[in-house]
């Protein structure tokens, strides 16, 4: 069984700056992942040709079971708005809403028993923050599936955490606690915007792979991780291949 996580940079290639759906699908197919978490996923955005990138990724992966979860709604060149509970009481089904959005997705070739979502607030602004320099932050989300795999039932989650150092660790602890109510083993796939050591300390989970992932042409740091709680078979191999899409490399783990 192969697990993978990839920040796809809304499908854009650093080589020519273009979003090419055929190229994205080919890159996804090359990962040959049974369960795949993706981040920076556009739907209906002009910068990615109006594509539903979650659907494109699912097609490339050959995944029958998938969901998209919006962290923000609206258009990049217009006005973002934060989804509220009425918008996303659960992960959107594969047929989804047509409203433009930006977020994450999770897909599986194996049957999914249930889907679960978690909303993560951005870094709170202090009082009188308008008079002080304060880092820009945005809402984040986590999407989990309870999956029936050849290795047994497991929970797999995809997330993309804050770029603000320290707050991403707070968010990861929230994700780790949230998953405790779901079946073990529990796997977190995502762009966590922190080092491997920090991810292990913040989550209390084990890292399954150590490979630099960013920036993709000559990666120096690992921002993307596969973490686990519970018992899984040994890792047979792992890699962070350079692909023709994104400024991140994916992490792929073979169990």
Under 8 Å between Cβ of 157 and 188: yes
DSSP code at position 91: P
The pLDDT, as a whole number, for residue 86 is: 44
Q: CA 153: distance to chain centroid?
A: 21
Q: Structure pTM?
A: 0.92
Low-confidence ranges of the chain (pLDDT < 70): 84-97, 125-135
Name residue 106's beta-bridge partners. 37, 67
- Can you give the pLDDT at residue 9? 98
Per-residue confidence (pLDDT) for residue 137, from 0 to 100: 81
pLDDT on residue 126: 63
Domains of the chain: 2-125+134-254 (3.60.10.10)
pLDDT digits (tens, 9 = 90+) for 35-50: 999 999 999 999 999 9
Main-chain dihedrals φ then ψ at residue 22, nearest 5 degrees: -65, -40
E strand or H helix that includes residue 120: strand 112-120
What pLDDT, on the 0 to 100 scale, is given for residue 154? Answer: 98
CA dihedral 75, 80, 86, 90 (to 10 degrees): 70
Please list the residues that pair with 115 across neighbouring strands: 145
Q: Which helix (H) or strand (E) holds 195?
A: none
Distance in angstroms (rounded) separating the CA atoms of residues 223 and 192: 6
pLDDT value at residue 87:
47
Q: For residue 110, what are the CA distances in angstroms to 29, 35, 92, 201?
A: 16, 8, 18, 31
């Amino acid at each position: 069984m192969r697990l993978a996580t990839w920040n796809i940079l809304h499908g854009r290639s650093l080589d020519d700056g273009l979003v090419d759906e055929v190229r994205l699908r080919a890159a996804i197919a090359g990962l040959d992942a049974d369960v795949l978490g993706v981040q920076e996923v556009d739907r209906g955005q002009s910068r990615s040709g109006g594509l539903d990138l979650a659907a494109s990724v699912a097609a490339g992966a050959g995944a029958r079971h998938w969901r998209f979860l919006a962290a923000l709604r609206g258009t990049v060149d217009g006005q973002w708005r934060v989804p509220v509970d009425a918008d996303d009481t659960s992960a959107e089904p594969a047929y989804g809403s047509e409203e433009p959005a930006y977020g994450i997705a999770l897909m599986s070739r194996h049957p999914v028993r249930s889907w679960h979502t978690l909303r993560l607030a951005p870094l709170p602004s202090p009082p009188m923050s308008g008079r002080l320099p304060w880092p820009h932050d945005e809402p984040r989300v986590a999407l989990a599936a309870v999956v029936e795999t050849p290795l047994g039932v497991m929970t797999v989650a995809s997330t993309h955490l804050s770029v603000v150092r320290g707050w991403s660790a707070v968010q990861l602890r929230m994700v780790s606690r949230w998953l405790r109510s779901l079946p073990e083993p529990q796997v977190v796939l995502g762009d966590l915007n922190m080092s491997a050591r920090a991810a292990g300390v913040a989550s209390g989970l084990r890292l399954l792979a150590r490979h630099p992932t960013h920036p993709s042409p000559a990666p120096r740091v690992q921002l993307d991780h596969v973490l686990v709680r519970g018992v899984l078979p040994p890792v047979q191999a792992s890699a962070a291949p350079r692909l023709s899409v994104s400024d991140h490399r994916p992490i792929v783990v073979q169990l």
